[in-house]
Amino acid sequence: MTHREEAALSVRAVVGLQWGDEGKGKIIDFLSAEADYVVRSQGGPNAGHTVVVDGETAVFHLLPCGILRPRVTCVIGNGVVVDPETLAKELAYLDGRGIRWEGRLQLSHAAHLIFPYHRLLDLAWERRRGARSIGTTGKGIGPAYADKVTRIGIRLVDLRDPAHFRAKLAANVQEKLALLAWLGDPAELDVEEIAESYLAFGRRMASAIVDSARALNRAIADGRRVLFEGAQGTLLDLDHGTYPYVTSSSPLAGGVGTGCGIGPTRIGAVIGVAKAYATRVGNGPFPTELPADDAKRMRDLGEEFGATTGRPRRCGWFDGVALRQAVMLNGASSLAITKLDVLDGFAEIGLCTAYRVEGRTVDFPPPEPWLFQQAEPVYEMHAGWRTSTREARRWEDLPAAARSYLERIEALAGVPVGMVSVGSGRDQVLTR
């Protein structure tokens, strides 16, 4: 085995290739059985990664999905924005089920904190935008990243010096209250109450707050198996997504390096996750979106409601044009296709292979947001298999029509389908 092949086995990144909600949690949980570390690289509690174990569903917004594997060390990287309240709830969930996390969870000292004023600002800006609203989760993610970029953010390391922390917090609260008043959403915030709550969190998590970049690079150098867990999806990337209807960080494989403090050559393989159809939450272009009645059928079959917000997801056929773009941007080496079983009852299944834009047929997303919004999908219609795939455990177990559909997705993507999920259970995954 070559050094490159060894690296591909030991260091892998899992990223979403659509608009988020691709089923990354399921794939990460499955792959974490062979991992020593599982690492979140970006995003915050706007993520909702769902894992089903022995019939019990767990949704993690901040904790890496590998936390359910007893011997896995989980890391929240510097690129993540951390809400202590959300994290405390997830740790309480683990405590209530007797799952040990002490000594297994590391938080980057450089990760930024989300404060109550970030959530207030998130909602205030959305109300002010009105018809131009983004459709955010309201979790304060964008405002927290905005503070990071304008260099007034507060990081986990700041909790180590209470006086320093209080001074930064007081200055930020004063500024944010003035901004909220200007936005027409005046608020009151108790600086001392917030300070005491966050400092208590810092004391509780003191042993877990580490220089995670150094720790991860040592682990990789020692040959440990590391799995990087992305949040959201490629088409929501701040630079390469459907701007301005995007998230505030980089869900791409490239975001793993900056979000965790590792060099790009450390990553041996990139596994891109996509649903067997397409969904989107919030506003923005969605060329393959189905009419209301058809979308409702798919939504009900796939239980397509946001794990973070509970909002119904917009549903549509698989978009091969967007997939090609996402594979290119991530340098994906293989695909993991999830929720194939949701299509089991369809007589015909649409697969978008191109767009019609201003009378032209194109095989790439138009860079102009207004043209992307107007793009019309060009479909291939594939025969459905009309039988359950939920018991399939080998590629050969899948109906011929299902294999044909997946092979067409492979051809459009230019990379192989390496994994297929046919249900929510841990064992409902087949590999090639």
Q: What's the pLDDT score for residue 58? A: 84
Residues forming CATH 3.40.440.10 domain(s) in the chain:
3-107+211-431
The CATH homologous superfamily for domain 3-107+211-431 is Adenylosuccinate Synthetase, subunit A, domain 1 (3.40.440.10)
What DSSP assignment string belongs to 185-230? Answer: ------HHHHHHHHHHHHHHTGGGEE-HHHHHHHHHHTT--EEEE-
* pLDDT at position 38: 97
CA separation (Å) from 331 to 47, 103, 109, 131, 269? Answer: 23, 34, 29, 36, 9
β-bridge mates for residue 406, sequence order: none
Whole-angstrom CA distances from 80 to 195, 245, 256, 420 are 21, 20, 11, 28
Name the CATH architecture for the domain at 112-207.
Answer: Orthogonal Bundle (1.10)
Return the pLDDT at 161.
Answer: 97
How big, in percent rounded to 5, are the helix, strand and coil portions of the chain?
Answer: 40, 20, 40
What is the reported pLDDT for 120? 95
Q: Any catalytic annotation for residue 29?
A: no
Contact assessment for residue 232 and residue 251, using Cβ atoms and an 8 Å cutoff: yes
Which pTM value belongs to this model? 0.93
Cα–Cα distance, 227 to 399 (Å, whole number): 31
User: What's the confidence (pLDDT) of residue 55?
Assistant: 75
pLDDT attached to residue 6:
58
Q: Which residues contact 82 (CB under 8 A, 6 or more apart)?
A: 44, 62, 76, 107, 111, 112, 113, 114, 156
β-sheet bridge partners, residue 91: none
Helices within 233-319 (DSSP H only) = 254-260, 292-302
363 catalytic? Reply is no
Judge contact between 27 and 336, C-beta under 8 A. yes
| CA 338 – CA 304 distance, rounded (Å) | 13
Q: Which residues contact 328 (CB under 8 A, 6 or more apart)?
A: none
Residues of the chain with CATH 1.10.300.10: 112-207
Cα distance between residue 139 and residue 144, in whole Å: 10
| Ordered per-residue pLDDT tens for the chain, 432 residues | 555 555 556 999 999 999 999 999 999 999 999 999 999 999 999 888 888 777 788 889 999 999 999 999 999 999 999 999 999 999 999 999 999 999 999 999 999 999 999 999 999 888 888 878 777 888 999 999 999 999 999 999 999 999 999 999 999 999 999 999 999 999 999 999 999 999 999 999 999 999 999 999 999 999 999 999 999 999 999 999 999 999 999 999 999 999 999 999 999 999 999 999 999 998 899 999 999 999 999 999 999 987 667 889 999 999 999 999 999 999 999 999 999 999 999 999 999 999 999 999 999 999 998 999 999 999 999 999 999 999 999 999 999 999 999 999 999 999 999 999 999 888 899 998
In the set 29, 36, 49, 61, the catalytic residue is: 49
DSSP string spanning 335-378?
EEEE-GGGGTT-SEEEEEEEEEETTEEESS--SSHHHHHH-EEE
Q: What is the C-alpha to C-alpha distance for residues 64 and 227, in angstroms, rounded to an integer?
A: 10
Burial of 306 (0-12, 13-18, 19+ CB in 10 A): middle
What's the pLDDT score for residue 1? 54
Q: Which two tokens stand for residue 401?
A: 């029509």
* 81-82 and 49-53 strand pairing: unpaired
Whole-number Cα distances in Å, 156 to 80, 137, 315:
11, 23, 38
CA–CA separation, 19 and 201 (whole Å): 33
